[in-house]
Chains A and B, each alone.
Chain A
Amino acid sequence: MQKSIQKYFALFALPGLICFAIAFLIPMVMGVVLSFFKFTTVTDGTFIGIDNYKRIFINNDFTSALWFTVKFTVVSVITINLGAFTLAMLLTRGIKGTNAFRTIFFMPNLIGGIVLGWIWQVIINGVLLPRGVTIVSDPKYGFWGLVVLMNWQNIGYMMVIYIAGIQNISHDLIEAAQIDGANKVTMLRSVILPSIMPSITICSFLTLTNGFKLFDQNLALTAGDPGKQTEMLALNIFNTFYGRSGFEGVGQAKAVIFTIIVAFIALTQLRLTRSKEVEA
């Protein structure tokens, strides 16, 4: 069996490779090529060199969206992972109803971003109403609104990954540590954290890229209002491409830069956290 799988390796990999090429590789290469074009419709264009890249910085909306995204991502990566890890610790102690809690915490993740955005918009506006303001009255409401929304949606999902990690820690290891007289803090720092490093890698990778790629929640919650001040990178690219005529190429160029930034950050993060992973 092993042998025949090896023999037909190429054949088994083919469907995956074809899908990968159709859905990812080809569009990405085409995207890079198209960033050097001026569009007349979204499928028709003329080559204009690097003009699109120069026009990105004609106004500061890209840089301000980038800055907003970075701030948002930093805050949400920290809060989501802390929240998810705390929940995972609580729900691996065998308290009554653990499974029900896990299901409940996981559920927000099943609702689509647009729907969530609108639901939270109503909730947050309801909370702000007594103060006579709405979520789009001030960019800081939009920022924290997004953070709350992302936490609510993502904590349950990350929790599941952490739970898997925690449950995988071998009992021998924990017992040995207990016999050696490790207290709770030492246990956490020297046993649990190093053992679940793979989960941390995955969770921080997912939250980091989710933060950078955030689009539908942003669109539904604030749509970038007031005046683009809560516009994140993906929404900014979308608005440039579809919202400004003659700027499709610029939107494409922004998308290329966006891809490079996200890839760079994600790879650096992977390398950093991977290096801390240990074999149990």
Chain B
Amino acid sequence: MKKSLLIALLIVSVAMSSVLFAAGAQEATPAKEVYFLNFKPEIADVYETKIAPAFEKETGIKLKVVTAASGTYAQTLKSEIAKSNPPVIFQTNGPVGLAESKNYTADLKNTEFYKILSDKTMALGDGEKVLAIPYAVEGYGIIYNDAIMRKYFALPNKAVSIKSADEITNFATLKAVVEDMTKNKGALGIQGVFASTSLAAGNQWRWQTHLVNVPLYFEVRDANIAMGSKVPEIKFSYSANMKNIWDLYLNNSSTAVGLLGAKSVDDSMAEFALGQVAMVQNGNWGAGQILGVKGNKVSDADIKFMPIYTGAAGEEKYGLNVGTENYLCINSNASVEQQKMADQFLTWLFASETGKQFVKNDLMFITPFNTFKDSELPTDPLAKDVIRWMNKSGVSSIPWAFSMIPSEEWKNQFGAALADYSVGRKNWAEVEKVAVDAWKTEFKLTN
């Protein structure tokens, strides 16, 4: 009797102590490891399978890469940063994002990484401090398949007078071409002119952030508001232009409007890569997605960009939307040694010969660093086309005004309104109202 009680006691105490010790245990950090929280799911592979092993081989430092799922970076960062082994390198998407993470962002002024940035004004800071350094300039617009366009312009019964996609310089022409192409879908062998207007959860950013940038930019330009300023209210004065292009996307798409809620950006890119559609709105970061699709039918030379035309006056003078929301930061709560290793990694990636090869060939970034010569710019067709548009005379790029959007919540509400409009549950006036009202509320809440 006594014995069995003793045994029972022993078991209980062992079980209990394991609970207690498990609760108190800290995740052991390997001596030489840098934790990098990656923002871009589309290139997560490159970091994990190519960059990390190469970096470890050259320096002996392990690179731990964790990638947040599409549209969840802010959440992931927030929970990861609170862990006992937090990310040392993380990303911020501009002044709004930086404001949230200021408390744990290290001053990068004395880092090697900051020294290689060619235009120091591009870095984001707080007073004297340098907190976030951009690493990739990106551009987006309408990506088109020139082979299909040539096929269209060769049609004997085409309704437009222009002879190539280069001649499309405003919305009226774009609309005429697109609608005529839809009529000739069969002859062109496509399922629709535009790829799916993806509206699945986490896949609305092409519209509620990127597409709306065009009307937003024109509005702040008219009001003489400098980029990056705080905008308490918008009138959404170019709302009709937004509607123009949105309707064009919906009505000439490969997918029926009712099904858009289940379509992701990946689907759209695959449709384009497989030659099922002629156009897709996306940025140069999508190059990997097009080239990487199995059975890809589009040749490199046929992948080209045209600006997003919406019917605004004088739009012929505007090119692609070019800017960055890719800034790297270092966690100030990480140990000094880890911060140094983080600096070492970033400098290695953007300045060493090995690192630069990855950046150019695999990550396909157009970087703002002075370590890259002109001959070392990325060679993928989309990045090359962004550079071509940036240097085109008589055309200026549309800057990324969407960094002025007061919060993610505004984007979500606007995206939801667009989705409702698409299936006919809202009319355009209601979409407009959501955009204007939500902006006002969100600005008050976040400032």
Could you tell me which A residues sit within 8 Å of B by CB distance?
Answer: 1, 4, 8, 11-12, 14-15, 18-19, 22, 40-44, 55, 58-59, 125, 129, 131-138, 223-228, 242-246, 248
Contacts and interface: CB of A to CB of B under 8 A. Distances in A.
B201 A41 contact: no
B81 A41 contact: yes
Interface string B173-195: 00000000000000000000000
Nearest to A5: B5
Nearest to A250: B445
A41 B104 contact: yes
Given A59-B441, A134-B262, A244 B408 contact: yes
B contact face: mostly helix, strand, loop, or mixed: helix
A245 B416 contact: no
Interface in B245-270: 256, 258-262
Contacts of A14: 12, 16
A65 B238 CA distance: 33
A138 B423 CA distance: 9
Interface in B352-410: 407-409
A138 to B, nearest CB: 7
A8 B82 CA distance: 41
A41 B407 contact: no
B15 A15 contact: yes
B103 interface: yes
Contact of B261 (A12, A226, A243): A226
Interface size class of B (residues with CB under 8 A): 35 or more
Contacts of A243: 74-75, 408-409
A42 B78 contact: yes
B417 interface: yes
Q: What are the nearest 8 A-B pairs in CB distance? A: A227-B416, A136-B261, A242-B75, A133-B258, A223-B201, A132-B258, A43-B82, A134-B262
B446 A137 contact: no
Contacts of B415: 227
B325 interface: no
Contact of A246 (B1, B100, B416): B100
Nearest to B413: A227
Contacts of B7: none
Looking at A224, A228, A245, the one whose CB has the most chain B CB atoms below 10 A away is A245
Contact of B262 (A15, A18, A19, A125): A125
A8 B416 contact: no
Nearest to A224: B201
B11 to A, nearest CB: 10
A134 B408 contact: no
A53 to B, nearest CB: 15
B94 to A, nearest CB: 13
A15 B416 contact: no
Contacts of A41: 78, 81-82, 103-104
B79 A242 contact: yes
A131 B423 CA distance: 13
Given A42-B78, A133-B258, A58 B100 contact: no
Contacts of A223: 201-202
Contacts of B409: 243-244
B319 to A, nearest CB: 32
B12 A11 contact: yes
Contact of B259 (A18, A129, A225): A129
Contacts of B329: none
